[in-house]
Amino acid sequence: MIIITASLHSLFTETLSEKGIAYNYQPGISYQALLPLMKDATGLVVSTHIKVDSNLIDHAPNLQWIGRLGSGMEHIDTAYAAGKNIRCHSSPEGNCNAVAELAIGSLLSLLRNIHLSQAEVKQSIWQREKNRGTELGGKTLGIIGFGNTGSSFAKLLQSFDVRVLVYDKYKPDASEYGVISASLSTIKKECDIISFHLPLTNETAYFADSVFLDEVEKNPLIINTSRGSVVDTRALIEALNAGKISGAVLDVLENENLNHLSAKEKKDFNDLIQDPRVIITPHIAGYTKEATYKMSKILLEKIGFL
């Protein structure tokens, strides 16, 4: 029995049906409701809302594999799973282009005041000079993390006449799509825009902290489409207020459950949404119809069903 807790493309369930493989499709199921189902599970498909910890794994004596729809394995105890001979697969190749497209779209909206001027026009306000924007062409853009999404972002930037610097601790000689491998200090010194494409690990949590943001030299615009905790929210707000950075594109937040924010998180959130230099989207960078199909197909291939 395969337990599916994520909304995926019908290709996945149709393929299972064709092969006579039983499945239980429960997108959005809670952790507690999932536990009693795990006793019969041979496979488990998850997205971000289920934490696959040792307790969940111990409830699944027959589990052979865990499939992550999307990228990032921080909510899966992969080491514990490996100790139980359980294979873990993810499908970051499936939504990397979608993430890159949203990053560029939001970046252009911020640079050209599209988000602000469109809201004004809806109020019958027609202001051209106030909304004079800045072009992306000719800028130096730093990409931190050059995996699937970082490289997809660089690929889409090729037509914008942008100088792209890349820092990746585990890929020091990146040369795809005309990018230039650079040190972190060079990116802080030379970049007009810095975009984060990092998984969330002990190394990357609060990567962009107050020290990082204080060391940037060109008042860059910050993009984060990776994980909310890669950027220290309060440090970002303080950098905006101090003029150290010129704006931010955020598709992710440290706490994305807006109904359960602490007093501090509420203040931070209000500060962000009231700042015209900030664009926030609700973690939709990887959410497209095409990405849903591609991630489902890639997961099927990696598991061995295609």
The closest of 47, 51, 20, 24 to 37, measured between CA atoms, is 24
104 and 242 housed in the same domain: yes
The strand pairing partners of 144, in sequence order, are 167, 196
Which pLDDT tens digit goes with each residue over 51-64? 999 999 999 999 99
pTM, 2 dp: 0.94
Tell me what pLDDT residue 177 has.
84
Whole-Å CA distances, 76 to 8, 73, 201 = 19, 5, 12
> Among all chains, which residue has been given the structure tokens 């999307």?
70
34 and 160 housed in the same domain: no
Tell me what pLDDT residue 175 has.
80
Tokens of 114: 């599209």
19 and 144 housed in the same domain: no
Tell me what pLDDT residue 164 has.
97
Tell me what pLDDT residue 180 has.
96
Give the model's confidence band at 97: pLDDT under 50 very low, under 70 low, under 90 confident, else very high. very high
Give the integer Cα–Cα distance in Å for 250 and 287: 15
25 and 128 housed in the same domain: no
Which pLDDT tens digit goes with each residue over 124-178? 999 999 999 999 999 999 999 999 999 999 999 999 999 999 999 998 888 888 8
For residue 72, pLDDT over 90 is answered with no
The distance of Cα 301 from the centroid of its chain, to the nearest Å, equals: 23
CB of 157 closer than 8 Å to CB of 164: yes
The closest of 102, 52, 6 to 295, measured between CA atoms, is 6
DSSP 145-157: --SHHHHHHHHHG
72 and 157 housed in the same domain: no
Note the maximum CA span of the chain.
65
- Domain CATH for 151: 3.40.50.720
Tell me what pLDDT residue 176 has.
81
100 and 212 housed in the same domain: yes
CB of 200 closer than 8 Å to CB of 229: yes
81 and 130 housed in the same domain: no
Total domains in the chain come to: 2
Tokens of 199: 């998984």
9 and 102 housed in the same domain: no
61 and 139 housed in the same domain: no
72 and 214 housed in the same domain: no
Secondary structure in 3-state letters for 67-109: EECCCCCCCECHHHHHHCCCEEEECHHHCHHHHHHHHHHHHHH
Tell me what pLDDT residue 121 has.
98
Q: In a 3-state reduction of DSSP, which class is residue 130?
A: helix
Range of the domain at 55: 2-91+289-303
296 and 269 housed in the same domain: no
- The residues annotated as belonging to the active site are 227, 256, 283
Give the integer Cα–Cα distance in Å for 98 and 95: 5
Give the integer Cα–Cα distance in Å for 15 and 198: 32
CB of 27 closer than 8 Å to CB of 6: yes
CB of 195 closer than 8 Å to CB of 225: yes
Q: Which residues of 190-220 are buried (b: 16+ CB within 10 A; e: fewer)?
A: bbbbbbbbbbbeeebbebbeeebbeebebeb
154 and 6 housed in the same domain: no
Which pLDDT tens digit goes with each residue over 187-235? 999 999 999 999 999 999 999 999 999 999 999 999 999 999 999 999 9
Torsion of CA 239, 245, 249, 254, to 10 degrees: -20
CB of 218 closer than 8 Å to CB of 248: no
